[in-house]
């Protein structure tokens, strides 16, 4: 039976890498029925909404989506579509594997990390008070009453809620992921000594849950120190478990360790739905030129195949990416080549067919 998959091409380089990924996934021979739906700037133009209901409904119906990046309009009052999508569908876990790829020159070899990031809380929950607004003024007065906290009159405020229940599910998810994928260690990054009631709660909850997984090593490191250690000795780490903001930042750092944003896939997973997307953004600086690296989107597609239970197809796609990068004659500019997005997709699709 065909798998129904929603394809959200997105903005900027999104449609270019989405077409490439679709070509490669179709080459596996697995029957995929693509249901294309808009989101982002294109959707705003066409449907009058950044995240149209028809797109959300399609994902709710099909349960899985492959999504390109979406430009977040700055200063227009719109909530980030990515944040909204993760919250609407309760996609609480972001999974972002970063592994050394053959033929891609980097400072470190043998990197094989997975960032697991809490996706719905923390500073990205979207609870914000604009400088000078009535709400900010009311908050200021309330905080003074509650604990003598003084906010400057001209302060904008973003809240950082972290709950025990929200943390509990991401910790369980991380350990179950580690167990299923034969990972040896989970490292939690935090800033608990400074933010006792948010990061401190995250750390305490994670520490307690970790005891249920004695076969997996447990490590806790403050996130600033973790950043320094990651760039020096990434091979020391395995699964990184992080609250939302740190996870966002460190997954880009991990992308940098293995050759850049064009190579790193990702998944946003909840109990009911899963949306697969590259870590990179819409790359407006190269959009429309046909030179974007499609590897991150293609590997996101491989993660989607694995999620659908199509393990053989997922492995063939990953092996084909490795083979094309290792051969080195077809590669895009971000990894030192001159090939186009389409050349890369064609080469990987051909390698999938011949596997």
Which residues bind to ligand NAD, rule: CB under 6 A?
13, 17, 69-72, 82, 261-262, 277, 280-286, 292-293, 296, 334
Q: Do residues 349 and 24 touch, judged by C-beta distance below 8 A?
A: yes
Task: Locate all alpha helices (DSSP H) within 81-154, ordered by sequence.
Answer: 81-88, 134-147
Adjacent-strand bridge partners of 93: 118, 269
Q: How far is the CB of 64 from ligand NAD (least distance, A)?
A: 16
Give whichever of 100 and 187 is closer to ligand NAD, judged by the CB atom.
Answer: 100
- Round the CA-based radius of gyration of the chain to a whole number and report it: 21
**Which residue, 264 or 320, is less far from ligand NAD as judged by CB?**
264
- Specify whether 90 is catalytic: no
Report the C-alpha gap between 63 and 305 in whole angstroms.
13
CB under 8 Å to 196, separation ≥6 — which residues? none
Q: Which of 11, 122, 238, 248 is catalytic?
A: 248
Q: State in angstroms the smallest separation of the CB of 137 from ligand NAD.
A: 29
Q: How many CB atoms lie within 10 A of CB 2?
A: 9
CA dist list (Å): 321 to 78, 86, 184: 36, 28, 26
Q: How far is the CB of 308 from ligand NAD (least distance, A)?
A: 21
CA gap 318, 350 in Å, rounded: 13
Question: Minimum distance between the CB of residue 18 and ligand NAD, rounded to whole angstroms?
Answer: 11
Nearer to ligand NAD, 91 or 188 (CB): 91
CB-based burial label for 272 (10 Å; 0-12, 13-18, 19+): exposed
Q: Which is nearer to ligand NAD, 82 or 340 (CB)?
A: 82
- Encode 171-200: b = buried (16+ Cβ within 10 Å), e = exposed: bebbbebbeeeebeebbbbbbbeebeebbb
Question: Residue 185 catalytic?
Answer: no
DSSP 123: G
Q: At closest approach, how far in Å is the CB of 13 from ligand NAD?
A: 6
**Is 224 a known active-site residue?**
yes
Indicate the SS3 state at residue 273. Answer: coil
183 versus 331: smaller Cβ distance to ligand NAD: 331
- Please, what is the minimum distance in Å from the beta carbon of residue 259 to ligand NAD? 11
Q: Pick the closer one to ligand NAD by CB: 216 or 349.
A: 349
Among residues 57, 212, 224, 236, which one is catalytic?
224
191 catalytically annotated: yes
* Catalytic residue (choose from 11, 67, 122, 124): 124
Contact between 229 and 303 (Cβ < 8 Å): no
Residues classed as catalytic? 124, 191, 224, 248
């Amino acid at each position: 039976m065909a798998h129904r998959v929603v394809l959200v091409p997105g903005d900027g380089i999104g449609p270019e890498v989405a077409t490439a990924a679709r070509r490669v996934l179709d080459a596996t021979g697995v029957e995929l029925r693509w249901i294309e739906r808009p989101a982002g700037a294109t959707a705003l133009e066409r449907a009058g909404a950044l995240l149209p209901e028809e797109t959300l409904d399609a994902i709710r119906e099909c349960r899985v989506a492959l999504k390109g990046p979406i430009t977040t309009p700055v200063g227009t009052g719109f909530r980030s579509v990515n944040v909204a999508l993760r919250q609407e569908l309760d996609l609480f876990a972001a999974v972002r594997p970063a592994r050394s790829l053959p033929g891609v020159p980097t400072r470190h070899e043998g990197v094989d990390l997975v960032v697991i990031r809490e996706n719905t809380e923390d500073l990205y929950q979207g609870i914000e008070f604009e400088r000078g607004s009535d709400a900010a003024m009311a908050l200021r007065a309330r905080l003074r009453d509650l604990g003598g906290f003084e906010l400057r009159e001209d302060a904008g405020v973003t809240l950082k809620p972290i709950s025990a229940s929200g943390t509990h599910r991401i910790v369980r998810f991380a350990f179950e992921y580690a167990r299923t994928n034969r990972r040896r260690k989970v490292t939690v990054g935090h800033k608990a000594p400074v933010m006792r009631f948010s990061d401190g709660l995250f750390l305490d909850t994670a520490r307690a849950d970790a005891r249920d997984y004695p076969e997996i090593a447990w490590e806790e490191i403050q996130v600033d120190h973790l950043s320094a250690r990651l760039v020096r000795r990434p091979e020391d780490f395995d699964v990184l478990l992080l609250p939302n903001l740190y996870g966002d930042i460190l997954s880009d750092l991990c992308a940098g360790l293995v050759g850049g944003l064009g190579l790193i896939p990702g998944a946003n997973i909840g109990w009911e739905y899963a949306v697969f997307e590259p870590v990179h953004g819409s790359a407006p600086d190269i959009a429309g030129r046909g030179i974007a690296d499609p590897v991150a989107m293609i590997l996101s597609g491989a993660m989607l195949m694995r999620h659908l239970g199509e393990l053989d197809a997922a492995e063939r796609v990953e092996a084909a990416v490795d083979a094309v990068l290792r051969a080195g004659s077809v590669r895009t500019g971000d990894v030192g080549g001159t090939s186009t997005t389409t050349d890369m997709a064609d080469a990987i699709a051909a390698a999938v067919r011949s596997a």
